[in-house]
Each structure stands twice: as C-alpha cells, then as structure tokens.
Amino acid sequence: MDTRFADLADLGEALERTSARLEKAALLADFLRRLAPDEVAPAVRLILGQPFPAYDARTLNVSWKQASAVVCELTAPTEDQRDRIWSEAVDGGEAVRMLFETARAEPVTPPPLTTLEVYQAFEAMADATGKGSRTRKADLIRGLLERASPAEAKYVVKNVFGEMRHGVSEGIMLDAVARAADAPPKTVRRAHQLWGDIAEVAGVALTGGVPALQAATVRLFRPLQPMLAQTADDMADVFAKIEDVALEFKFDGARVQVHAQSGGDEVRVYSRQLADVTASVPDLVAAVREGLRAQDAILEGEAVATGVEGRPLPFQDLMRRFRRVHDVDRLARQIPLHLHAFDLLWLDGQSLLDQPYEARRAALAGVIAPPLTLATQVMPTDVTKAEAFAQAAYEAGHEGVMAKRLSSAYTPGARGRHWLKLKHVETLDLVIAAADWGYGRRHGWLSNYHLAARDEDTGEYMVVGKTFKGPTDAEFQALTARLLALERHRAGSTVYVEPRLVVEVLFDEVQNSPSYPAGVALRLARIARVRDDKSPAGANTLQDVHAVRDRRRARKGHR
C-alpha cells in the first residue's frame, strides 16, 4: 500500500516536538522501515525539504508570491485572522497550516495524497519551463493543496521553499538510515561522502543492505563531499597540532571540484555545495582540457577571479561569474578565472582518497600543466618561516593559509585536525534572517541585517547580532532585491525572510548577551561579502559561535 503523505506530515510534527537527537533518529528509522523500496529516496528528500540533490540542476523556481496566491484562492480568512496568523506563525509553512485550519474555503478533495504523488508533483514543477510554466506550477501546487490536510499543506509549502524546522540535519538522517538498515553508521556515512546524495544512500541501504553500501566508490561526475578544515588560533597552534605540516595559500576564491573524462573531452565543474556550475565557467573548462595530462581525473582547486598582474579580484566579482547563466562568454572576458589546483582524488580509474596527501599532491603535479597551476606550497620547519609564508599570502592578496598534514588521507565531508585554516582576520559565515528598512540616505533599502546561526540541536536560526555596516550603496540595493524575494512577513519596519542568504561577517568579539535568546552577540559586526558559494547548511552554527567565544575568552585568561 502506498504511504500516505499524511504519515510523513505526522512524522514532521513529531520531530518538531522532539529535541533529543537519538529520539529523532529513532522516529525517522521507524518511518523508513515502513516504506516501500521506491518510496525511500523520495521520502528522505521530502523530510529534509530538499527535493533534488545538490548536483541536480533542477529547481522548483516557485516564489512566495506564486505560492501565496494559490493559498489565497483556497482560504478566506478575516483581516483579524490573517493578522493574528502572520504574527504567530514562525514561517510560511506554519502560516499555511493555520490558514487551512481556520479559514479553509472548501473541504479537502479526495483521494488522500501519497508520498510518491507529492514528490512526482515537485518533479513536474521543476520540469515546467518556458511559456505557461508559471501557470503549470500554480496548477500543480493547487492540486496538492486541494487534497491536503492542514498539516500536509504545511509540509507541501515547506518543501516548496526548502525550509524545515524539525531539527533533522544530514547527520541525524544518516544515523536513522543506519538504524533502519541495521548498518554500521561509519559505512553509511562513507557512502554518503562518496555519493553526495543522502536519499540515494538511504534507498541503497534499505534495499541492498551493508554489502551494497560497502561497494560504494568514487564515481566520475558525481561530486564528493569536500574535506573540511578546522580553524587554527595562530601559527603556534598549527605547529602544536600538525607535525608534518605543509602550508598553502588560502585563496580568496571559490572551491571547485573538477571531473574530467577521456582526456578532457568531457569536463564538469562542481561548487563546494556540489552544484554543477560548468555552464558558468567555460574558461575553467578550457583550461582543464588544455592543461590536464590524464585520461580521467577528479581534482580539487580554488577558482580565483584575476585582474591586473594576476592579482585576485574581490570575491563579489567572482560570484558574478558563478551566478551567470546568460552572456557568459562576455563576462568571462571581463572577469577571467584561474584555477589553482591543490588535490587529486581520482586518477585513471583509481581512487586516491586513502593515499597520504603528500602522494596525492605529487600525483597532481605530474598531471597538470599550464594554464593550470599548483597551489603555492611550502613545508616550513618552524613558526618564523611559516609566518613569513602567511605574510607573503597576505601581500599577494589572499585571505590566509591552509595547513595540511602530509600523511593525511582525504576524508570527504569530514572536518578534522588534518587540515587547518588560518585567516588574517577571523570571520563567521551567518545567515540573514530579517532586515530593517533604512532611513536617510538608505531610505528604500533593507539596510540593517539580522544575522543568525542555526542551532544544531533544534534546527532553529538564532539571531546573534545586527549590522548595517559593510555593503556599498550598490550592494545595499542588490541585497534589498534579493531579500524581498525571500520575504516571509513583516512586523513594523522589519522584513522577515527565508534564511537562505549567507554572508561572511567580520567582528571584534563574541560577547555573552541576555538581550538575545541565543545567549551571545557579535560586537561591531560588519559584512565582508555575500557567500553565494555557501548554502545555509554550510554556514557556521550557533555552537560554532559559542566555541569562538569560549576560545577567545580562554586565550584572555577568562573562564
């Protein structure tokens, strides 16, 4: 029997009421066990609010204005009801649930929704393009909501906008998959790191079991989760944690993973979020075809926008390239990209993941030629030499250095002590949760930004500071347009938005603060840049912010 979408909505409500990680995993595992094989992957995507994996270029491309127009057709609230709902609802999905509970215009239309039907409707929305696509998408949403209970309507809308508030991270879902399939968590996580698609991992785990998961390997044109770095306090901290250390420039660019086959005849470029950006970077593709000396390979590097004398251009210029889908060739001439390669994960049919970094780097040096270059590297013997290298990185216009253990294997998706990053200035990547209308010269712009970090335990975005400093006038205007497209609701002069836009934030200190429910606040925060290369899931968490506070206080002798 097909699984009702109401069961998935009930699961979502139960997850929202549960704060304990283990209890969430248990609820998820019990649900996954009851699914038919063809329902597992779609259900996982709908639970996480991610209808498509990152490497899949499809998007729903439905605005809140479009979705709310359908909701307005199906409900008839009074003005008082509408005002109360928007003041009480924490997000668009919850507002829709409340509207359907109190002001539904017509009864639910049978038959009940199934999980597969809902997922197939989302696929149809993504496939609807060109003339008439807006009407087609609206019809699909209407068809779902007409048959939806209030709770089901809530989770339909949450999936449209990709925001869940039940606190289920990928880590919790992976734990649940391991439980449901009776598989070692390490085996499940390894498959996810290699495939980059948690829904596929769940489907394989529950149908093929442990043997199928153990057979997971690197695949060309399926991007791997990138290996991540911890933050070092200073160069002395680097040497205390890594004995066999190599230092590289930490470029002010965008990390990319390049997959090439048949000697470069087929090349795909993926962002750190695993999104396929090949069409936006034809100059990188051309450089790989010219400079790669291998039949097939997966290499990692940093794409840097370059200006006069090869010096790096501002990060925002680089992001113009990665967002561009039209007139790409002209912009490529204006803002050329250069690839600094730093790792090799696959070479001519063989995975290099388990080889030490020193061996992977040597293999990389043997298969690339101009216009590709190796990331600048040294192996300093003491702190003084290391700091001189960091100063050279600064003078060259880069943002710091990376420290890497020469003996370390490549661990996709893991953040450990094998790689450390040391920036010239410490920053946090935070999400804009709301913004206030400006006044005076900034009248008409959203110019005071509420900066938030996600609580790993609850999934809720908690505000940790506000700032109107950093952006230029042109950037204020651009941010206003982008934030209004993410608008949820307004209260006075504040516009609350979907927490999707990530910004890199400079700050002087992290202070304890009774004024914020998060318990901490950033002192003298200012926005350095928009991080379009990062998703909210890749931004710093509330726990990260607390860790920065604790680390800095410890260095000052406070406890």
Determine the pLDDT at residue 553: 66
Residues 154, 117 share a domain: yes
Q: Residue 182 belongs to what H/E stretch?
A: none
pLDDT tens track for 2-28: 999 999 999 999 999 998 999 999 999
Residues 483, 359 share a domain: no
Q: Residues 6 or more apart from 127 whose CB is under 8 A from it?
A: 58
Please count the structural domains in the chain: 3
* Residue 501 confidence (pLDDT) above 60: yes
With contact defined as beta carbons under 8 Å apart, do 498 and 517 qualify? no
With contact defined as beta carbons under 8 Å apart, do 177 and 186 qualify? no
Residues 354, 241 share a domain: yes
* Given 250, 469, 534, 556, the catalytic residue: 250
pLDDT tens track for 26-46: 999 999 999 999 999 999 999
> How many whole angstroms separate alpha carbon 431 and alpha carbon 286?
34
Residues 520, 453 share a domain: yes
Residues 438, 303 share a domain: no
The CATH number covering residue 125 comes to 1.10.3260.10
Determine the pLDDT at residue 131: 92
* Residue 412 confidence (pLDDT) above 70: yes
Determine the pLDDT at residue 492: 84
The radius of gyration of the chain from alpha carbons, rounded to an integer in Å, stands at 24
Residues 462, 409 share a domain: no
Determine the pLDDT at residue 105: 94
> How many whole angstroms separate alpha carbon 361 and alpha carbon 212?
31
Q: Last residue of some domain: 402, 423, 444?
A: 423
Q: Is residue 26 domain-resident?
A: no
* Residue 389 confidence (pLDDT) above 60: yes
The CATH number covering residue 269 comes to 3.30.470.30
Determine the pLDDT at residue 556: 44
* Structural domain that includes position 527: 427-555
Which pTM value belongs to this model?
A: 0.77
Give mean pLDDT, residues 531-551. 90
> How many whole angstroms separate alpha carbon 544 and alpha carbon 548?
6
* Residue 222 confidence (pLDDT) above 60: yes
Q: Report residue 182's pLDDT band, with 50, 70 and 90 as the boundaries.
A: very high
- For residue 459, the Cα-to-chain-centroid distance in whole angstroms is 14
Q: Is residue 11 domain-resident?
A: no
Residues 465, 546 share a domain: yes
The CATH number covering residue 497 comes to 2.40.50.140
Residues 414, 351 share a domain: yes
Residues 371, 251 share a domain: yes
With contact defined as beta carbons under 8 Å apart, do 439 and 3 qualify? no
Assess whether 556 carries a catalytic annotation: no
Average pLDDT value for the chain: 91
Residues 465, 347 share a domain: no
Q: Report residue 541's pLDDT band, with 50, 70 and 90 as the boundaries.
A: very high
Q: Report residue 1's pLDDT band, with 50, 70 and 90 as the boundaries.
A: confident
Q: Is residue 16 domain-resident?
A: no
Q: Report residue 557's pLDDT band, with 50, 70 and 90 as the boundaries.
A: very low
Task: Name which of 146-150, 205-209, 298-302, 394-398 the model is least confident about.
Answer: 394-398
Residues 233, 92 share a domain: no
pLDDT tens track for 457-480: 888 899 999 999 989 888 999 999
Determine the pLDDT at residue 559: 31
Residues 310, 260 share a domain: yes
* Residue 230 confidence (pLDDT) above 50: yes
> How many whole angstroms separate alpha carbon 68 and alpha carbon 85?
14
* Residue 401 confidence (pLDDT) above 70: yes
Q: Last residue of some domain: 133, 161, 189?
A: 161
Determine the pLDDT at residue 311: 75
Higher pLDDT, 462 or 311: 462
pLDDT tens track for 103-125: 999 999 999 999 999 999 999 99
Q: Is residue 250 domain-resident?
A: yes
Q: Report residue 136's pLDDT band, with 50, 70 and 90 as the boundaries.
A: very high
Q: Is residue 417 domain-resident?
A: yes
pLDDT tens track for 65-76: 899 999 999 999
Residue count of the chain: 559
Determine the pLDDT at residue 358: 97
Q: Is residue 195 domain-resident?
A: no
Q: Last residue of some domain: 142, 161, 180?
A: 161
* Residue 507 confidence (pLDDT) above 50: yes
Q: Is residue 394 domain-resident?
A: yes
Q: Is residue 208 domain-resident?
A: no
Higher pLDDT, 201 or 537: 201
